[in-house]
C-alpha cells in the first residue's frame, strides 16, 4: 500500500517573491471524484500525465496510488470530465535535506501560495523555512479538490 504523509502550509508572498527559485513546472488538474472517502485526480504536469487515487485523510496520512498515463489521455480526460480545474506552477525547494513543494496558484485561485512537505512518518521532525506561514494541513479548504470547485478568489474570508 502506498502512503502519502504530508503537511501543508501557507507561504508568505512577500518573502516568497524575494527568494531565488529554480524553474517551476506548470500543473493543470481536475477531479473525476472528490468524495470524502476517495479522490480521483487527473493531472498534467509539464509534459506528463497522471491519474491519482487518494483515500481519506487521517491527520497527515492517507493512501495514495499514482499512475503515469499518456499525456494525450490526461488532456482528453481533463477536457471531457473535469470542468472545474486547478492551475498552478510548482517549485521544488530543498531546505534542511527535505524537499518543499511550493504551489503558486493561477486562474481563480490566483494569490494563493501553498507549500507541502512529504514525510517518512507522521511524527517526523523537520526544519521550517522563514517564508513558511500558518499550517493548514487540517483545513479542507486548502485541498486542491476543494479549490477546483470553490476557488480562493470566491472565499469571503481568507
Q: What cell was used for 144?
A: 486542491
- What are 67-76's pLDDT values in tens digits? 999 999 999 9
Report whether 112 contacts 105 (CB < 8 A).
yes
- Give, as one character, the DSSP assignment of residue 22: P
pLDDT of residue 157: 60
Phi/psi at 19 (nearest 5 deg)? Answer: -80, 130
Domain ranges of the chain: 3-154
- Specify the pTM: 0.94
- Find out if CATH 2.40.320.10 is the number for domain 3-154: yes
The answer to whether residue 31 is catalytic is yes
Task: Give strand pairing partners of 99.
Answer: 94
Please give the average per-residue pLDDT across 10-25, as a whole number. Answer: 97
Catalytic residue (choose from 27, 31, 91, 142)? 31
- For residue 158, pLDDT over 60 is answered with no
- What are 38-63's pLDDT values in tens digits? 999 999 999 999 999 999 988 788 99
Q: How far is Cα 114 from Cα 104, in angstroms, rounded to an integer?
A: 7
Quick one: pLDDT band at residue 22, thresholds 50, 70, 90?
A: very high
- What are 103-121's pLDDT values in tens digits? 999 999 999 999 999 999 9
Amino acid at each position: 500500500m502506498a502512503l502519502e504523509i504530508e503537511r501543508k502550509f501557507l507561504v508568505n508572498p512577500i518573502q516568497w517573491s524575494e527568494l531565488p527559485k529554480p524553474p517551476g513546472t506548470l500543473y493543470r488538474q481536475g477531479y473525476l471524484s472528490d468524495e470524502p472517502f476517495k479522490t480521483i485526480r487527473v493531472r498534467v504536469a509539464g509534459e506528463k500525465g497522471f491519474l491519482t487515487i487518494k483515500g481519506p485523510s487521517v491527520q497527515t496520512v492517507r493512501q495514495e496510488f499514482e499512475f503515469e498515463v499518456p499525456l494525450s489521455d490526461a488532456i482528453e480526460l481533463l477536457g471531457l470530465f473535469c470542468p472545474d480545474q486547478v492551475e498552478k506552477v510548482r517549485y521544488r525547494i530543498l531546505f534542511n535535506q527535505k524537499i518543499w513543494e511550493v504551489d503558486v496558484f493561477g486562474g481563480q485561485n490566483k494569490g494563493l501560495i501553498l507549500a507541502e512537505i512529504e514525510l517518512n512518518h507522521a511524527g517526523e521532525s523537520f526544519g521550517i523555512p522563514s517564508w513558511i506561514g500558518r499550517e493548514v494541513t487540517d483545513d479542507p479548504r486548502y485541498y486542491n479538490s476543494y479549490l477546483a470547485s470553490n476557488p480562493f478568489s470566491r472565499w469571503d474570508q481568507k
